[in-house]
């Protein structure tokens, strides 16, 4: 007896998640090592982009950062439940929506790994114009954001198609 979702597409999808996770891990390891070598949080400084290590204990882009360990662990538990829901959604969806969810889960697993093993997520990409700095983020955040943007676009087009019919 074979399991329905263990087919060629499953392994391709799993490879994509693994690629996103490994890309994120390698970028974070590099930045952490460079920061440790230089004993400086700034690795690169330019007019519009800084590579600067910070440790984020909050949610996306440092929102809801706090020192309370009970709240931190509760948030981590909530994130693990959301990851399980996204895995279920990947299995039950198809097409572009599935690939949008794969982007989200790959990034979410990268940040979840850091929450578990470091107690915080290393963020390091700092875009800025003069003194206006955007939130500092990492590669996993990029994949999560792209996945969500793709899902929003898909929903808009799907809604437009349903309204025409």
Indicate which residues carry an active-site annotation: 123, 141
With 0-12 / 13-18 / 19 or more C-beta atoms within 10 angstroms meaning exposed / middle / buried, residue 104 is: buried
Handedness of CA 17, 20, 23, 24 (dihedral sign): negative
Cβ count near 107 (within 10 Å)? 27
| Residue 116 to residues 43, 53, 64, 109, 120, Cα–Cα distance (Å) | 25, 18, 17, 10, 8
Name the DSSP letter for residue 64: T
Q: Report phi then psi at 76, rounded to 5.
A: -65, -40
Strand order in the sheet with 42-45: 42-45, 49-56, 121-129, 132-133
* The token pair that represents 87 in the structure block: 């895995």
């Amino acid at each position: 007896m074979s399991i329905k979702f263990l087919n060629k597409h499953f392994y391709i999808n799993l490879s994509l998640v693994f690629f996103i996770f490994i890309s994120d891990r390698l970028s974070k390891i590099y930045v952490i090592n460079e920061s440790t070598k230089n004993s400086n949080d700034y690795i690169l400084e330019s007019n519009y982009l800084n590579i600067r290590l910070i440790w984020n204990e909050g949610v996306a882009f440092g929102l809801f950062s706090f020192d309370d360990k009970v709240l931190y662990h509760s948030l981590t538990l909530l994130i693990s439940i959301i990851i399980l829901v996204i895995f279920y959604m990947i299995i039950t969806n198809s097409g572009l929506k599935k690939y949008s969810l794969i982007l989200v889960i790959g990034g979410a697993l990268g940040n979840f790994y850091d929450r578990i093993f470091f107690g915080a997520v290393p963020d390091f990409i700092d875009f800025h114009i003069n003194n206006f700095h955007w939130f500092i983020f990492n590669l996993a955040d990029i994949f999560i954001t792209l996945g969500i943007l793709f899902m929003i676009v898909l929903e808009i087009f799907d809604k437009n198609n349903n309204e025409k019919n």
